[in-house]
Amino acid sequence: MAIPIVTRAAELKAQVAAWRGAGERVALVPTMGALHEGHLALVTRARELCPRVVVSIFVNPTQFGPHEDFNRYPQDMEGDRAKLGNAADLIYAPELREMYPDGVIAKVSVGGPSAGLESDFRFGHFMGVATVVARLFQQCAPDIAVFGEKDYQQLLVVKQLVRDQGMKIEIVGVPTVREADGLALSSRNIYLKNDDRGVAAQLNKVLKDVAARVKSGRAIAEAEAEGASALLDAGFKRVDYVAVRDAESLEAIRGVERPARILAAAYVGETRLIDNMAV
CA 202 to CA 263: how far, in whole Å? 14
In angstroms, the Cα distances linking 117 to 44, 78, 86 are: 30, 35, 37
Active site residue 39: yes
- Is the CB of residue 118 less than 8 Å from the CB of residue 126? yes
* pLDDT (tens digit per residue) in 152-194: 999 999 999 999 999 999 999 999 999 999 999 999 999 998 8
Task: Please indicate whether residue 69 or residue 230 has the higher confidence score (pLDDT).
Answer: 230
- Would you say residue 200 has pLDDT above 90? yes
CA 261 to CA 246: how far, in whole Å? 6
- Would you say residue 104 has pLDDT above 80? no
Task: Please indicate whether residue 178 or residue 1 has the higher confidence score (pLDDT).
Answer: 178
Share of the chain above pLDDT 90, in %: 94
SS3 track for 78-123: HHHHHHHCCCCCEEECCCHHHHCECECCCCCCCCHHHCCCHHHHCC
β-strand pairing of 260-268 with 271-278: antiparallel
Compute the average pLDDT of residues 211-237: 97
- Would you say residue 117 has pLDDT above 80? yes
Q: Which of 123-127, 149-153, 191-195, 228-232 has the lowest mean pLDDT?
A: 191-195
Q: What phi and psi, each to the nearest 5 degrees, are found at residue 131?
A: -65, -50
Q: Which of 99-108, 117-126, 247-256, 260-269 has the lowest mean pLDDT?
A: 99-108
- Would you say residue 105 has pLDDT above 70? no
Cβ count within 10 A of residue 55: 29
Compute the average pLDDT of residues 197-216: 97
**pLDDT value for 103:** 76
What's the maximum distance between 2 C-alpha atoms anywhere in the chain?
A: 58
**pLDDT value for 173:** 98
Choice among 36, 39, 67, 125 that is catalytic: 39
